[in-house]
């Protein structure tokens, strides 16, 4: 059992990787693969195109491996970054699909834990990405909560533990973030 304040195995591997130990990265990915697949599954659930969670993890793996000297804070920082990277990969895929066929009109985008992010049409996915980017510029903490809940699939109690907030506070902030994003996505200012 590890004591409070003692770094987790993942954090130790992240530090070794940052220091240039290439084998640490392979060991890291092996030890967190199931969590990465779960995050990818959250991004690709009920997807209409060919990207599977394992394919998304593979592409993220290659991109992460190319990064050098990232100052990883801890395992949560790594998972948040990996989730954001997966979202970016899906955005690139959506842009590529959109380039092949021009889509017209705006579509309402529901924001719920069950949203199949990659199932959204390319334009809607890009609108969502733009709204999330805008939210992160306006309120990085709210953006982080949205990513934890809707992109990484953390439960309210898990988010409460990660952020040190009460369940009620997390729920209240997520309601506000959903309203803000909904307004932005559905034509509000």
Averaged in consecutive runs of 10 residues, what is the pLDDT profile of the chain (189 residues)?
Answer: 65 86 87 90 65 86 76 83 84 70 49 48 68 86 84 79 87 90 73
Phi then psi dihedrals of residue 109, to 5 deg: -115, 110
* CA terminus-to-terminus distance, the chain: 50
What was the pLDDT predicted at 114? 46
What was the pLDDT predicted at 94? 74
For 146, residues 6+ apart whose C-beta sits below 8 A from its C-beta are: 132, 135, 174, 177, 178, 181
What was the pLDDT predicted at 115? 47
For 171, residues 6+ apart whose C-beta sits below 8 A from its C-beta are: 156
pTM of the model: 0.56
What was the pLDDT predicted at 123? 60
C-alpha distance from residue 61 to each of 9, 40, 67 (Å): 19, 12, 10
Cα separation, 71 vs 84, whole angstroms:
16
What was the pLDDT predicted at 2? 47
Cα separation, 102 vs 11, whole angstroms:
44
What was the pLDDT predicted at 116? 44
What was the pLDDT predicted at 109? 47
């Amino acid at each position: 059992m590890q004591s409070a304040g003692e770094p987790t195995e993942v954090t130790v591997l992240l530090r070794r990787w940052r220091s240039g130990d290439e084998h640490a990265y392979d060991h890291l990915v092996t030890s967190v693969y199931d969590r990465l697949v779960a995050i990818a599954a959250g991004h690709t659930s009920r997807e209409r195109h060919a990207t599977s969670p394992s394919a998304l993890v593979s592409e993220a793996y290659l991109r992460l491996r190319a990064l050098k000297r990232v100052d990883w804070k801890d395992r949560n920082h790594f998972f948040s970054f990996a989730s954001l990277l997966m979202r970016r990969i899906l955005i690139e895929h959506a842009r590529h699909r959109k380039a092949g066929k021009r889509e017209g009109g705006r579509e309402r985008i529901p924001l719920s834990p069950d949203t199949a992010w990659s199932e959204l049409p390319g334009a809607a996915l890009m609108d969502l990405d733009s709204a999330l980017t805008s939210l992160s510029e306006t309120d990085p903490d709210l953006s982080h909560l949205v990513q934890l809940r809707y992109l990484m699939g953390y439960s309210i109690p898990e988010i409460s533990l990660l952020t040190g907030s009460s369940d009620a506070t997390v729920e209240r902030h997520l309601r506000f973030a959903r309203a803000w994003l909904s307004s932005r996505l559905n034509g509000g200012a």
